[in-house]
């Protein structure tokens, strides 16, 4: 304030040597303003980055319940498959799981169920658990609660038509959620099932790589996220055929998500 007054006074001064003060002050104020904007931008970028990091966490969200593993010492795990159903990989996977007497959990996308209603029915008929993985597989970060409700309700209806009984759990597309999706899930009393082992099998890294990565990261109570839809998944199907005997040899049993949840010792003495 004093500086501004002094500057106004000096501006009217006939003394030439004092004239450059005004542009100098302007520059100083400009630099300060620039600094404030810079700090503001950095804070916003930090907040945004922090929000995205939080959005991708598999063990917590702002509202409602998340399940991403069972806290147990028992050698048990759940195989989960996302983004299907899709021909021919879901069907080949069902055959492989049948041959090995393994039941898994399929988080289906509503749009994919509409394209393959018979295959969705087949997954339920063969005794696997099914879950809701949204209708359009949109990233549900900066979306409205109405959008979330619509995505969930449309896919619920399709899953019920396919024969799904009991509670239908949800899995956030890309495992990402901020406030609106958790809010709606909590409001609907729905569990968000994420994972403790997520292999980027959708990048088609090769069957051996998928197998070795799952084995490397395996732990008691694991929820493994793989993909039977969203693109060609022959590598994933082949990997599952190798993983089942390899994990059984280590003493692991395969459970559905609800069976695995029943063994979760978190909060118990």
**So which residues are the catalytic ones?**
82, 227
Smallest gap from Cβ 71 to Zn ion, in A, equals 25
Task: Pick between residue 82 and residue 241 the one whose CB is nearest to Zn ion.
Answer: 82
Peptide bond before residue 52 is cis, with ω within 30 degrees of 0: no
Task: Pick between residue 76 and residue 225 the one whose CB is nearest to Zn ion.
Answer: 225
| CB crowding 242-256: b at 16 or more within 10 Å, else e | bbbeebeeeebebbb
Smallest gap from Cβ 65 to Zn ion, in A, equals 20
Query: What are the residue ranges of helices labelled H in the chain?
Result: 2-11, 21-55, 89-100, 110-115, 117-125, 145-161, 180-187, 207-217, 234-249, 257-262
Task: Pick between residue 43 and residue 138 the one whose CB is nearest to Zn ion.
Answer: 138
Nearest-CA neighbor of 105 among 128, 82, 85? 128
Smallest gap from Cβ 249 to Zn ion, in A, equals 30
Task: Pick between residue 83 and residue 151 the one whose CB is nearest to Zn ion.
Answer: 83
E strand or H helix at 220: none
| Binding site residues, Zn ion, CB under 5 A | 82-83
213-219 — which CB contacts under 8 Å span 24+ positions? 214/239, 214/243, 215/243, 215/246, 215/247, 218/77, 218/247, 218/250, 218/252, 219/69
Smallest gap from Cβ 196 to Zn ion, in A, equals 16
Instruction: Specify the DSSP class assigned to residue 72.
Output: -
């Amino acid at each position: 304030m004093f500086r501004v007054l002094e500057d106004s006074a000096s501006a009217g001064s006939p003394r030439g040597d004092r004239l450059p003060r005004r542009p100098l002050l302007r520059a100083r104020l400009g630099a300060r303003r620039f600094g404030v904007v810079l700090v503001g931008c950095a804070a916003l970028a930090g907040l945004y980055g922090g929000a995205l990091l939080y959005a991708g966490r598999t063990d917590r969200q702002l509202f409602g319940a998340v399940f991403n593993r069972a806290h147990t010492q028992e050698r048990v795990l759940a195989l989960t498959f996302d983004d299907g159903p899709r021909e021919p990989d879901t069907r080949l996977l069902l055959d492989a799981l049948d041959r090995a007497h393994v039941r898994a959990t399929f988080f289906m996308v509503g749009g994919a169920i509409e394209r393959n209603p018979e295959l969705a029915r087949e997954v339920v008929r063969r005794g696997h658990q099914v879950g809701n993985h949204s209708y359009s597989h949109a990233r549900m970060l900066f979306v409205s609660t109405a959008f979330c409700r619509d995505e969930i309700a449309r896919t619920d209806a399709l899953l019920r038509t396919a024969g799904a009984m009991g509670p239908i759990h949800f899995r956030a597309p890309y495992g990402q959620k901020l406030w609106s999706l958790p809010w709606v899930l909590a409001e609907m009393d729905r569990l968000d099932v994420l994972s403790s082992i997520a292999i980027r099998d959708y990048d088609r890294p090769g069957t051996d790589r998928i197998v070795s990565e799952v084995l490397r990261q395996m732990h008691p109570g694991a929820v493994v996220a793989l993909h039977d839809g969203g693109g060609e998944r022959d590598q994933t199907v082949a990997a599952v055929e190798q993983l089942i005997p390899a994990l059984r040899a280590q003493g692991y049993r395969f459970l559905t998500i609800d069976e695995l949840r029943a063994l979760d010792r978190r909060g118990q003495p």
